[in-house]
């Protein structure tokens, strides 16, 4: 004689209190086996709930049992997108990189890190969505240690918070990273600029976190997304250097002059595509970046821009470049 469904559901829930992981799944499977074989009505409902709960418990197990989520680095900088559940991290990742991810109006839609590559001013930024950080993450709550490990491994952080969520949601996340001792160049992206009352709410965030550079955007309309890219660039400390355009090529007898024509080097994508280099980079670093042979063939360079004393100054391979420079490389012929 089966129990009334409501009582059965209550007993099932009671039996699950404090049970996690494989033990929880085992108990759920036990209930499933003991359930009267109705697929409709109240017992059908319990059956579906049990099946869903098994799925959810397995999902949480995958997160918890993963010791490390290290994402191999690509590009010039790896950026961890860190925030509370439902902050808009996936939507932002999609807006910045075009990568297809699950965007959903419920928390914990993302359970594993997801990465995408964004090109900003000629620099490759690998954005990694860290699944939602909850209070207690630094003590491994919700598999928090592995999640925080992603942020620890990244070069810079972008905190993500929604203008539709309480201002405190971000506070919890910041606290967990602080407790975990993670300190990187960081900024904040507030999503939901299209929501009613967003401007006023953005001010409340600004007041609450004055120490962090903040940008607001809408992943729905795209407004403000470009400014978020610029923030990532500013946090990176990279400099951008352009190949100098020339009207005429070098004579066949003279040295080869690289002016950035498409096809001149493996990495030269277009006519005046900038190259992103680490601050402190010298002319040889630029040459090596453009083509693997160029550093060895480099004779000297001519520079226009902030690092040059005058436009077209001839400089040696060890000349230190600056953001906004234009450079012409003079190479020995092969």
Tell me if 86 contacts Mg ion by CB under 5 A: no
- Contact residue for Mg ion among 90, 121, 191, 218 (CB under 5 A): 90
- Please choose, from the candidates 149, 333, 319, 161, the residue with its C-alpha nearest in 3D space to the C-alpha of residue 253: 333
Q: Can you give the length of the chain in residues?
A: 334
The one of Mg ion, ligand GTP, none whose footprint includes residue 86, by CB under 5 to 8 A per kind, is: ligand GTP
Instruction: Please give the C-alpha separations between residue 290 and each of 58, 66, 267, in angstroms, as whole numbers.
Output: 47, 39, 5
Task: Identify the sign of the CA torsion 52, 128, 172, 65.
Answer: positive
Is residue 110 at the binding interface for Mg ion, with CB under 5 A as the rule?
A: yes
In angstroms, what is the minimal distance from the CB of 195 to Mg ion? 18
Between CA 119 and CA 134 the distance in angstroms is 30
Q: Is 307 in the site for Mg ion (CB under 5 A)?
A: no
Coil, strand or helix: which one is 33?
A: helix
Q: Which stretch binds Mg ion (CB under 5 A): 47-55, 87-95, 297-305, 314-322?
A: 87-95
Which residues in this chain contact ligand GTP in the complex, by CB under 6 A? 83, 85-91, 103-105, 107-110, 132, 191-192, 194-195, 218-220
Q: How far is the CB of 52 from ligand GTP (least distance, A)?
A: 17
Q: How far is the CB of 162 from ligand GTP (least distance, A)?
A: 6
Binning the chain into helix, strand and coil, the percentages to the nearest 5 are 35, 20, 45
Contacts of 232 (CB under 8 A, 6+ apart): 77, 79, 118, 120, 125, 156, 158, 187
Residues touching Mg ion: how many (CB under 5 A)? 4
| Stretch binding Mg ion (CB under 5 A), from 101-109, 164-172, 183-191, 231-239 | 101-109
- Classified as helix, coil or strand, 265 is coil
Shortest distance, CB of residue 229 to ligand GTP, whole angstroms? 15
Nearer to ligand GTP, 194 or 261 (CB): 194
Separation CA 162–CA 95 (nearest Å): 15
Tokens of 64: 């918890």
Using the minimum distance from each CB to ligand GTP, give the nearer residue, 105 or 210.
105
Which three-class secondary structure state does DSSP give residue 145? helix
Smallest gap, in angstroms, from Cβ of residue 144 to ligand GTP? 13
- Nearest CB to ligand GTP, comparing residues 103 and 117: 103
Least distance (Å) from ligand GTP to the CB of residue 302? 46
Would you say 163 or 257 has its CB closer to ligand GTP? 163
- CB nearer to ligand GTP: pick between 13 and 102: 102
Type and span of the H or E element at 50 = helix 41-65
SS3 call for 304: strand
Judged by beta carbon, residue 109 or residue 117, the one nearer Mg ion is 109
CB 49 to ligand GTP: min, Å: 21
Q: Work out what residue 194 binds among Mg ion, ligand GTP, none; the CB cut-off runs from 5 to 8 Å by kind.
A: ligand GTP
Torsion angle of C-alpha atoms 177, 158, 191, 139, degrees rounded to 10: -20
91 binds, among ligand GTP, Mg ion, none (CB under 5 to 8 A by kind): ligand GTP
- Alpha helices per DSSP H over 167-307: 168-179, 198-208, 225-236, 283-290, 294-297
**149 or 192, CB closer to ligand GTP?**
192
Q: Are 144 and 128 in contact (CB under 8 A)?
A: no
Query: Would you say 131 or 243 has its CB closer to ligand GTP?
Result: 131
User: Interface residues with Mg ion (CB under 5 A)?
Assistant: 89-90, 109-110
């Amino acid at each position: 004689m089966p129990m009334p469904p409501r009582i059965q559901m209550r007993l099932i829930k009671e039996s699950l209190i404090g049970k996690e992981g494989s033990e929880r799944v085992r108990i759920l499977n036990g209930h499933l086996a003991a359930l009267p074989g109705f697929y409709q009505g109240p017992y059908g409902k319990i059956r579906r709930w049990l099946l869903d709960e098994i799925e959810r418990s397995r999902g949480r197990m995958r997160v918890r049992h993963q010791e490390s989520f290290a994402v191999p680095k690509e590009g010039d900088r790896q950026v961890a997108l860190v925030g509370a559940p439902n902050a808009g991290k996936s939507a932002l990742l999609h807006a910045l990189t075009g990568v297809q991810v699950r965007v959903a109006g419920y928390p914990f839609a993302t359970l594993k890190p997801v990465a995408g590559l964004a090109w900003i001013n000629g620099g490759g930024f690998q954005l990694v969505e860290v699944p939602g950080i909850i209070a207690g993450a630094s003590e491994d709550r919700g598999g928090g240690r592995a999640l925080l490990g992603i942020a620890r491994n990244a070069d810079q952080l972008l905190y993500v918070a929604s203008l539709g969520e309480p201002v405190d949601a971000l506070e919890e996340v910041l606290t967990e990273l602080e407790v975990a001792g993670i300190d990187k160049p960081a900024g904040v992206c507030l999503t939901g600029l299209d929501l009613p009352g967003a401007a006023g709410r953005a001010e409340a965030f600004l007041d609450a976190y004055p120490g962090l550079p903040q940008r607001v955007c809408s992943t729905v309309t795209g407004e403000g997304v470009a400014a978020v890219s610029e923030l990532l660039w500013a946090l990176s400390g990279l400099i951008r250097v352009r190949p100098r355009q020339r009207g005429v090529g070098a004579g066949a007898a003279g040295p080869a002059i690289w002016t950035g024509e498409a096809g001149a080097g493996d990495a030269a994508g277009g006519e005046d595509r900038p190259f992103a280099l680490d601050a402190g980079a010298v002319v040889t670093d630029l040459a090596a970046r453009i083509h693997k042979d160029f550093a060895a063939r480099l004779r000297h360079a001519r520079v226009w821009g902030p690092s040059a004393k005058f436009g077209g100054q001839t400089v040696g391979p060890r000349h230190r470049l600056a953001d906004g420079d234009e450079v012409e490389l003079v190479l020995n012929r092969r």
